[in-house]
Amino acid sequence: MATVIQPVDQPILMDGVSWETYEALLADGGDCRQTHMAFDRGVLEIVTPSYEHEHAGNILTSVAQALMDARRQDYAPAGSTTFKDQRAGRGFEPGASYYVEHAARIRGLTRIDLNSDPPPDLVIEIDVTQDSLDKLPIYAALGVPEVWRHQHGRVQIYRLASGSYVEVDDSTVIPGLSSARLTAFVRDSLTMPRPDWWRGVEAWVRETTSREGNPE
């Protein structure tokens, strides 16, 4: 008998899901699970990332880490770690995430517990479909200070303010990166050979850090 396979990046949305079912599904796949899940007070989203999703995520993390490394800015990558809080009834698995301000606080941990540990300082979300669950309220409820969202060929930066997100032009977590610059890096990566693209990133990082070291 044939099996219907959900296309990648086309989310499965289910309503009326209990917290216990959500946690059982998380545990069932363990660390080998290929899907990402998000939970918002009974609504569960399950999505299998596509090449487009993974490519954009790789580009954004490469740029972010290149600038932080050149600046010697401390950070701890948390990848697609499952962040969840039963009290808030919410959980998510980002495309990527980083501890920057709180890097030292979580260093050495093998598990993150939002009952006692801070949320990531930066979440990177790759959204390539309009049918996905709006995750900004989830991130806000769990206290994520900054979100980069790649959607429809554009990278938007959101900062948490008074319990909700406001779109801004520039990153606070990684100063020097703007939504326009991130969007351009992702766009250029689609047409340029990787070595040529990376040389452009390195040149921009050198210029940026040099400017910071020699303020006019």
Our separate counts of H helices and E strands in the chain read 6, 11
What are residue 126's phi and psi, to 5 degrees?
Answer: -110, 115
Domain span at 94? 51-208
* Token pair in block for residue 36: 């990402």
13: helix, coil or strand? strand
* 3: in domain: no
* 141: in domain: yes
* Token pair in block for residue 138: 């989830």
Does residue 182 contact residue 201 with C-beta atoms inside 8 Å? no
Q: Calculate the alpha carbon distances from 105 to 6, 70, 189 in Å.
A: 39, 22, 34
Does residue 145 contact residue 164 with C-beta atoms inside 8 Å? no
In angstroms, the CA 75 to CA 87 distance is 28
Whole-structure pTM value? 0.90
Q: Calculate the alpha carbon distances from 120 to 9, 56, 142, 181, 196 in Å.
A: 24, 20, 10, 22, 32
In angstroms, the CA 145 to CA 165 distance is 9
Does residue 68 contact residue 171 with C-beta atoms inside 8 Å? no
Instruction: Report the domain count for the chain.
Output: 1
pLDDT value for 165: 98
* 131: in domain: yes
* 91: in domain: yes
CATH number of the domain at 96, please: 3.90.1570.10
* 25: in domain: no
pLDDT value for 31: 65
Q: DSSP characters for 149-166?
A: EEETTEEEEEEEETTEEE
pLDDT value for 5: 42
pLDDT value for 4: 37
* 15: in domain: no
Query: Cα 29 to the chain's mean position, in Å?
Result: 21
* 65: in domain: yes
pLDDT value for 162: 94
Each residue's pLDDT expressed in tens, for the chain with a length of 216 residues: 333 344 556 789 999 999 999 999 999 866 666 889 999 999 999 998 888 889 999 999 999 999 999 999 999 999 999 999 999 999 999 999 999 999 999 999 999 999 999 999 999 999 877 667 899 999 999 999 999 999 988 999 999 999 999 999 999 999 999 999 999 999 999 999 999 999 999 999 999 999 887 544
Instruction: Say if residue 14 is exposed, middle or buried (CB neighbours under 10 Å; 0-12, 13-18, 19+).
Output: middle
* 168: in domain: yes
